[in-house]
Structure 1
Amino acid sequence: MGVLRYYIVTAVVATAVAGLWLGGGWVWLGIATFPVLMALDVLLPADHKLHRVSVPALADLPLYLHLPLLAGLWTLFVVRLSEWTGGAPGAVGGWQVVGMVLSVGWIGAVPNLPIAHELMHRRHWFPVAVAKVYSTVYLDPNRDVGHKLTHHLDLCTPVDSDTPRRGQTIYSFVWQASYGAWKDGVVTSVRSLRKRNMTIFHPRNAVYVELALLAALCAVVTVFAGWQGLLVALATMVFSKLLVEGFNYLQHYGLVRVPGSPIALHHAWNHLGAVIRPLGVEITNHIEHHFDSKHRFYELAPRGDGAQMPSAFLCFVCALVPPLWKSRIAKPRLRDWDSRFASPAEKEVAMAENRRAGWPQWLELGVPVKADPEPSGMA
């Protein structure tokens, strides 16, 4: 039964596909799954159980079922856009176009990003290639190129574009992370070519793959739905990208690590909600993934003894209101993290980060600090 929980990703995408198939007001069905999933993740008890998978192929199947479903979703999206731009009888109207953008954009981020993330870490060319296709709909086909060789080495340090610093808002972070991912992809690709004595013009340059995938998707949309349809599709991909980096904001927010020091249990936030774990393909079971990224998602043991955050859905919504995020979640959790988890060197770095952000110096360095058993933020 443990493996069936991962088919929630298939069900959510299929719901969005059904909405576009039915048309009319049903196109809002995809984005309507967000508040439902959020309510369940907040209300249900956290899931700290390791769910054994006896048939690994059945756990992997939803990752590949996602390919025809995502293709079907985008095909229906383009068909509806072509009807709208062509003025076909019964075509979707303005608000329904908005519903399609939100629904397709939401699916392009969740569960699409976690599935792509899982496959990009596989040790075979085929799943990595499929991950590039998935990542195209949020404008980042080369996410894998830099991610594995920058974030996994530099997490929780100032040079990591995927680590938000204390006091940073989600709005500035989405730009930082987006630019950082694209830059890391280009820089890593060029370095790889140079190590093999190849020029940047060599066909094995991963940047060409990225440009080809993005150009192909845009060309298909333009051919069938025109320039108006392309603008809507681009808005949808941008929305997906913002959501992708918005959820990325939650994974290492405010955490610090001395550059070059070993990655430890406390260098990622875990979100062990009963819904987000299977929907996110265990991406929120985060520190175990950083310990050894070659492990399959269903092999990751939830670490209840690590640094914890509330529901990822709740954190995301709160992060959209920076004062609420800082006062109710970020500061209480980080104060607890500084007291209970940080090494002496990390405490120094943490208080320097607090000074930079204009936050209180809640640790008296050199003086033992009694930590609260639980942070005082939202449960």
Structure 2
Amino acid sequence: LAFSFDVAFAVEHVYGHHRYVSTTKDPATAPRGRNVYYHILSSTIRGNISALELEKERLNKLGKSVISFRNSVLRGYLMSAFIVALAYLAGGVDAMLLFVAAGLAGKSLLEIVNYMEHYGMVRNPDTTPVQPRHSWNTNKRFSSWSMFNLTRHSHHHAQGEVPYQDLRPYPDAPMMINGYLTTIVVALIPPLWHALMTPKVQHWDKHYASEEERILAQEANAKSGIRSLMKAA
């Protein structure tokens, strides 16, 4: 259901997110100080815009029209509309609205997870390749079992072609507050999230960031207002 309402994901995640993760160019990376509810909206809109731009660039290189069935994003939108229409034919307006609501809920959960996985991290995509330190991870077993090794996010970014069952933990990678399920609940309570994550972001700056990234982190702190939270911590 989430995929039905995020047809741009297949394009943007592979060709955008994996290139620009932990930078301001990545719609899925939440900057410091942002709350999860704004991120759901922002990442969804920017992610679709990014996917359309990536597909436009691909088709232009091939000498093909952007407004055509070759555009996988536009094709995906049509497929989603078709599925919604099938829900209407199967059960009327009530079934269609329930299907749409379920799809939007799934999409929101996806963006909450995106929010958690790279929150507050910084990187210069022109000088620094994606490294294990650019993703928040957890080695909690229940989260790994229930989410098909999504917890081993650093390995996914290091080798995107590796099947989920072969992903391995990176013990030295930055760690989340707790397992995914607990962290999702914490993310939904912005004051609690910032109270717990601000010290972790500070720790990341000190122990994981390169010299260039520490400068980027200072700039991010100044823009976000997170400095007041740091003083309180």
Structures share fold, TM-score greater than 0.5: yes
**Whole-Å separation in 1 of the counterparts to 2:8 and 2:221:** 34
TM-superposed CA distance for 1:257, in Å, is 0.7
Corresponding residue for residue 319 of structure 1 = 187
- The structure 1 residue matched to 2:10, chosen from 129, 144, 147, is 144
Tell me the amino acid that sits aligned with residue 350 of structure 1: A
**Whole-Å separation in 1 of the counterparts to 2:87 and 2:229:** 53
- The structure 1 residue matched to 2:120, chosen from 249, 254, 263, is 254
- The structure 2 residue matched to 1:278, chosen from 142, 145, 154, is 145
Identical aligned pairs, as a percentage? Answer: 27
- Contact persistence 1:355–1:361 (CA under 8 A): no
| CA spacing shift, 1:333–1:292, aligned 2, 3 Å | same
Bigger mean CA offset, 202-211 vs 183-192:
202-211
Corresponding residue for residue 222 of structure 1 = 88
**3-state DSSP of counterpart to 2:227:** coil
What per-residue deviation string (whole Å, max 9, x for no partner) do you get for residues 310-340 of structure 1?
2111111111111110112x11211111111
What per-residue deviation string (whole Å, max 9, x for no partner) do you get for residues 192-243 of structure 1?
1111111123322113421232122111111121123212221221111111
In the alignment, structure 1 segments of 5+ residues that lack a partner are 1-107, 110-134, 364-376
TM-superposed CA distance for 1:289, in Å, is 0.9
Aligned length: 229
- The structure 2 residue matched to 1:304, chosen from 153, 156, 171, is 171
Within 5 A, what are the aligned runs for 1:56-75? none
- The structure 1 residue matched to 2:58, chosen from 181, 188, 192, is 192
**Whole-Å separation in 1 of the counterparts to 2:84 and 2:31:** 35
- Contact persistence 2:11–2:73 (CA under 8 A): no
- Contact persistence 2:17–2:26 (CA under 8 A): yes
What per-residue deviation string (whole Å, max 9, x for no partner) do you get for residues 63-103 of structure 1?
xxxxxxxxxxxxxxxxxxxxxxxxxxxxxxxxxxxxxxxxx
TM-superposed CA distance for 1:169, in Å, is 0.3
- Contact persistence 2:135–2:153 (CA under 8 A): yes
TM-superposed CA distance for 1:361, in Å, is 8.3
Bigger mean CA offset, 186-195 vs 226-235:
226-235
Question: Is 2:71 the partner of 1:205?
Answer: yes
**Whole-Å separation in 2 of the counterparts to 1:182 and 1:313:** 27
* TM-score, normalised relative to structure 1: 0.58
TM-superposed CA distance for 1:254, in Å, is 0.3
**Whole-Å separation in 1 of the counterparts to 2:110 and 2:214:** 30
Q: Which 4+ stretches in 1 moved above 4 angstroms? A: none
Bigger mean CA offset, 148-157 vs 258-267:
258-267
Tell me the amino acid that sits aligned with residue 289 of structure 1: H
- The structure 2 residue matched to 1:177, chosen from 14, 38, 43, is 43
Corresponding residue for residue 165 of structure 1 = 31
Tell me the amino acid that sits aligned with residue 171 of structure 1: Y
**Whole-Å separation in 2 of the counterparts to 1:361 and 1:320:** 21
Question: Is 2:199 the partner of 1:332?
Answer: yes
What per-residue deviation string (whole Å, max 9, x for no partner) do you get for residues 257-291 of structure 1?
12311222210011221111122221220111111
**3-state DSSP of counterpart to 1:214:** helix
| CA spacing shift, 1:362–1:236, aligned 2, 3 Å | closer
Tell me the amino acid that sits aligned with residue 169 of structure 1: N
Question: Is 2:215 the partner of 1:344?
Answer: no
Give the structure, 1 or 2, with the largest relative contact order (CA under 8 Å, sep 6 or more). Answer: 2
Corresponding residue for residue 161 of structure 2 = 294
Within 5 A, what are the aligned runs for 1:66-145? 108=1, 135-136=3-4, 139-145=5-11
**Whole-Å separation in 1 of the counterparts to 2:80 and 2:37:** 24
| Superposed CA RMSD | 1.9
- Contact persistence 1:282–1:298 (CA under 8 A): yes
- Contact persistence 1:250–1:269 (CA under 8 A): yes
**Whole-Å separation in 2 of the counterparts to 1:320 and 1:221:** 30
Corresponding residue for residue 22 of structure 2 = 156
What per-residue deviation string (whole Å, max 9, x for no partner) do you get for residues 342-362 of structure 1?
111111111221122222389
The structure having more radius of gyration, on CA atoms, is: 1
In the alignment, structure 2 segments of 5+ residues that lack a partner are none
What per-residue deviation string (whole Å, max 9, x for no partner) do you get for residues 134-174 of structure 1?
x11xx012311121111111111111101000000001100
* TM-score, normalised relative to structure 2: 0.92
**Whole-Å separation in 1 of the counterparts to 2:107 and 2:141:** 25
